Amino acid sequence: MSDKKQVAAALAQALPEMDVKEIEAKIERPKDSSNGDYAFPTFFLAKTLHKAPQMIASELVEKVNQDGFEKVVVAGPYINFFLDKAQVGAKILQTILTDPEHYGELDLGHQANVTIDYSSPNIAKPMGMGHLRSTMIGEAVARILEKVNYNLIRIDYLGDWGTQFGKLMAAYEMWGDEAEVKKDPINTLLKYYVRINNEADEHPEYTEAGRNWFAKLEHGDEEAWRLWHWFREVSLERFQRVYKMLDVNFDSFNGEAFSAQKMEEPIQLLRDKNLLKSSRGAEIVDLDEYNLPPLLIIKSNGTTTYITRDLATALFRKRMYGHAKSLYVVGAEQETYFKQLRAALKEMGFNWWNQIEHISFGLMNLNGKKMSTRKGNVVSLEDVLNDSIDLARKQIEEKNPDLKNADEVAKEVGVGAVIFHDLKNYRRNAVNFKLEDVVKFEGETGPYVQYARARAESILRKGGIRDFSNVDLTMAGAEAWELISFLGQYSEAIKRAAVNYDPSVIAKYALEVAKKFNQYYAHTRILEDNEAQPARLALTQAVSDVLKSALDLLDIKAPDEM
């Protein structure tokens, strides 16, 4: 229970006619701590009770449950609450230490299913830094929602269908060399793809050829399908390497191609509801009423579109998973698109249209430059991660030359640094990525948090106690109140992060725990041999546990030594 809830509960006894939630909303935090940790103003009761606030306060205070408070006193129209910090702190520590893995968990989801569509890179294009954002935000959101008891279904909706596939096949037909592709699949395919895109302006027939290949694919042409399988397989292998580095695992890789086979249903439904209109040979859904551009469902050449596949996908997912929410972690440039998708489902009569939620995010700039995949000036995610690991290794070698598993730790720190940097600001903000700022042991970085936890672990190794069940935890409570009460706010942070699909709440929380612990460490000799030592070690253990848990929610490893 948070402190504020404790105050509300104490007041609830005295105010049976009021709802606890209402009471909680009225509780204030006095600016001056000499007025207590919390204050309850009574002005608002004056009208109903026909009494002066001062009077109400002095009557109420008699009925308040004083357990867990050092004192509860009247100050004019206010009731001021002074927490019994030793007791409250001990309770927080005890809760953490009894079951660290589950600390902070809540039941908001009651095990309801949530599908989350994230990462979703496109085959035969490299997975760029843009997809990093979707992958990391998606994974963190999934972990946060699991922590509040939703059941997550992770879907990598591969972009394995569409005209760009036709383009790639056309390029392969013109310049393809099987042996070359086999030797270095992704780079070779990328080379073809980049070339056809670069030359398409001068050679409109390339675009046409691409369209034709795609039509072949849609009509089940054998050669087209053989190429499709091959391209998909080699691309997926490459993506899997990145997912492995990031420790991200999907439940499904059903992508656009899978949905492309299921398009009769949405098209038929749109027709039955009279929602399809023809417009210059194409078939569209008018969304004027929503102030949205029309949806192109079938192009004039008869091929279906990206959004038609997404409609089929949505129907399939609802039927397959019976989800309570269906989340899509996709860049902010697709905001209108997802509004259209929701509007179309609403028009089709599905009352679950609003379960579809777009978790949008801002651009990632590399050293101030935008990143694009179409013309090939792409930074591969794998390269960035490897650079980050190298830089982490260098710094670790300087700091701790004797570290045994230095390679493993360098990986955990290098990858963690990139992830943390991505997640530490609200997702809709743009991210500027500069490696030197990302892999730093000081400042608002992942390594800073990991290092604080490794320091806690090192203290604990020296301290030698790991079982705190017989320790008087009240000893730590008063002297480290700032830190302990903040540890007590973990589940509130988790709730905020879950409700807003916002991992930055957890990242900022972890930073703050690390900062507060470092301050505590600077002022307190934790290992000094005195009667407070066991309680101080218990606090150190609780810090380590909470940091590990928070890092885990962000999909970042917590090395014990670094």
Binding site for ligand ARG (CB under 6 A): 117, 120-122, 157, 159, 310, 313, 328, 330
Q: Which residue, 53 or 331, has its beta carbon nearer to ligand ARG?
A: 331
Q: Which residue, 256 or 479, has its beta carbon nearer to ligand ARG?
A: 256
What is the rounded distance in angstroms from the CA atom of residue 524 to the CA atom of residue 215? 71
Question: Is-contact 502 496, C-beta < 8 A?
Answer: yes
What is the rounded distance in angstroms from the CA atom of residue 256 to the CA atom of residue 312? 9
- Residue that has been written with the tokens 């609200």 in this structure: 426
Nearest distance from C-beta of residue 134 to ligand ARG, angstroms: 7
Q: Which residue, 157 or 239, has its beta carbon nearer to ligand ARG?
A: 157
Question: Is-contact 83 69, C-beta < 8 A?
Answer: yes
Nearest distance from C-beta of residue 317 to ligand ARG, angstroms: 9
Chain-centre distance of CA 147, in angstroms? 12
From the DSSP assignment, how many helices (H) and strands (E) are in the chain? 24, 12
Q: Which residue, 36 or 255, has its beta carbon nearer to ligand ARG?
A: 255
Task: Render the burial of 149-169: b for 16+ CB within 10 Å, e for the rest.
Answer: ebbbbbbbbbbbbbbbbbbbb
Q: Which residue, 117 or 479, has its beta carbon nearer to ligand ARG?
A: 117
What is the rounded distance in angstroms from the CA atom of residue 206 to the CA atom of residue 210? 6
State the DSSP string of 403-449: -TTHHHHHHHHHHHHHHHHHHSS-TTS-EEE-HHHHS-SSSSSHHHH
> C-alpha distances in angstroms, 206 versus 90, 173, 186, 289?
71, 11, 21, 38
| Nearest Cα to Cα of residue 365 among 432, 439, 435 | 432
Q: What is the token pair recorded at 507? A: 């990242």
List CB contacts of 33: < 8 A, sequence separation 6 or more.
none
Q: Which residue, 125 or 147, has its beta carbon nearer to ligand ARG?
A: 125
Nearest distance from C-beta of residue 117 to ligand ARG, angstroms: 5
Nearest distance from C-beta of residue 308 to ligand ARG, angstroms: 12
Nearest distance from C-beta of residue 322 to ligand ARG, angstroms: 18
Q: Which residue, 330 or 385, has its beta carbon nearer to ligand ARG?
A: 330
Question: Is-contact 11 81, C-beta < 8 A?
Answer: no
- Cβ neighbourhood burial of 72 (10 Å; 0-12, 13-18, 19+): buried
Q: Which residue, 330 or 475, has its beta carbon nearer to ligand ARG?
A: 330
Q: Which residue, 122 or 305, has its beta carbon nearer to ligand ARG?
A: 122
Nearest distance from C-beta of residue 340 to ligand ARG, angstroms: 11
Nearest distance from C-beta of residue 331 to ligand ARG, angstroms: 7
Nearest distance from C-beta of residue 236 to ligand ARG, angstroms: 13
**Strand partners of residue 431:** 364
Nearest distance from C-beta of residue 309 to ligand ARG, angstroms: 8
| Nearest Cα to Cα of residue 550 among 499, 501, 500, 512 | 512
What is the rounded distance in angstroms from the CA atom of residue 179 to the CA atom of residue 160? 23
Q: What is the token pair recorded at 417? A: 């640094």
Q: Which residue, 290 or 306, has its beta carbon nearer to ligand ARG?
A: 306
Nearest distance from C-beta of residue 310 to ligand ARG, angstroms: 5
